[in-house]
Amino acid sequence: VSISHLFQLTELYSKDKHLLTTTDLNPDDKMNFNAAEKMCSDQVIELLKNIPDSQGTISFLKIMNNVLKSYLNKTIGVKERLYCLWHSVYLLRIWRCSVMKNNDLTLKNN
């Protein structure tokens, strides 16, 4: 997972395809909710599929998308809402376990 994949995306594709700006990708601005929504949009995820080695970033953004959808989308039912949340929790737990089992990685850096 790397923000560099998103920077590559902004360089390769025009803004009308992904709606991201370089200020949206500022890691110091942690309170920019609109930027987070743009980052995990379906358009961005689709475009990232064309960027090499971005599978981890795509997975992370899909998790973000599921969590946001489960809380903010008023058109989905309870079952889909629960599915989105538990799917995200499950994937994050697997990710954490894989980091913990690999001696070369730490939770702080991964």
> What pLDDT is recorded for position 43?
94
Domain membership of residue 50 (yes or no) is: yes
The total domain count for the chain is 1
CA 98, CA 77: separation in Å to the nearest integer? 32
Containing structural domain, residue 29: 3-101
Domain membership of residue 106 (yes or no) is: no
Evaluate if residue 87 carries a pLDDT over 90: yes
Domain membership of residue 110 (yes or no) is: no
Q: Are 3 and 30 in contact (CB under 8 A)?
A: no
pTM: 0.84
Domain membership of residue 45 (yes or no) is: yes
Can you tell me which residue has the tokens 């709606």? 19
Residue 73 CB neighbours (<10 A) = 11
Domain membership of residue 107 (yes or no) is: no
Domain membership of residue 72 (yes or no) is: yes
| Residue 30: band (very low, low, confident or very high) from pLDDT cuts 50, 70, 90 | confident
